[in-house]
Amino acid sequence: MNLPNKLTLFRMLLVPLMVVFYLFPYSWFQIEPIVFHLGTVEFSLMKLLVLCVFVIASLTDYFDGQIARGEGIVTTFGKFMDPIADKLLVNTMIILLASDGSIPILATILMISRDTFVDGIRLVALANQEVIAAGKLGKLKTVLQMTAIIMVLLDNFPFSYIHLPIDQCLIWLATLVSVISGIDYFMHSKHLILESI
């Protein structure tokens, strides 16, 4: 297995660790998560740990693509698994953030619905011996989602000082691009989807 594909699998393996840090029942074990203060902004150690794991996982997404293209080792496995690893990482994180009200549930529903729709398109394409790689809009969507998640985990720092909700704006922008990219996938694949109607 080549290095880009190993990085993709490593990204997937980091997801359970992220979930454990976020959902671990600290109170059951009488553990009080450490909270750091920076002016009026609070940073919990738990969220900082999740942030570190998420950033490491996000960086593997960047490097596996760069290495694969730079060394000319783009594989069918990579084209297929890289978007799945991205969705597993991002969707897990947005579900966790929605579960405690950090981001709107509607945005989460729209983004996950889009991913389910695109996965359906990929399955139809696969049945027709076609592999659909992530398009530019899909990649932009992923970058926006990852940036928004980082901002939410940082409690909108440093924009919280001037009461500018950049984190929530980024979440909604990522949602908009997500929906548009879903429509784009459909338009480029409708010959496969509509052929049996």
Distance CA 123, CA 121 (A): 5
Sequence letter at residue 19: V
Q: Give which of 123, 122, 126 is closest to 135, Cα–Cα.
A: 122
**Per-residue pLDDT, 111:** 97
Domain boundary assignment for the chain: 3-193
Say if domain 3-193 classifies as CATH 3.40.1350: no
| pLDDT, tens digit only, all 197 positions of the chain | 888 889 999 999 999 999 999 998 888 888 888 888 877 778 888 889 999 999 999 999 888 878 888 888 878 787 778 888 988 999 999 999 999 999 999 999 999 999 999 888 888 887 777 766 667 888 899 899 999 999 999 999 999 888 899 999 999 999 999 999 999 988 888 877 777 55
Neighbours of 115 (CB within 10 A): 22
pTM beyond cutoff 0.95? no
User: What pLDDT does residue 77 have?
Assistant: 80
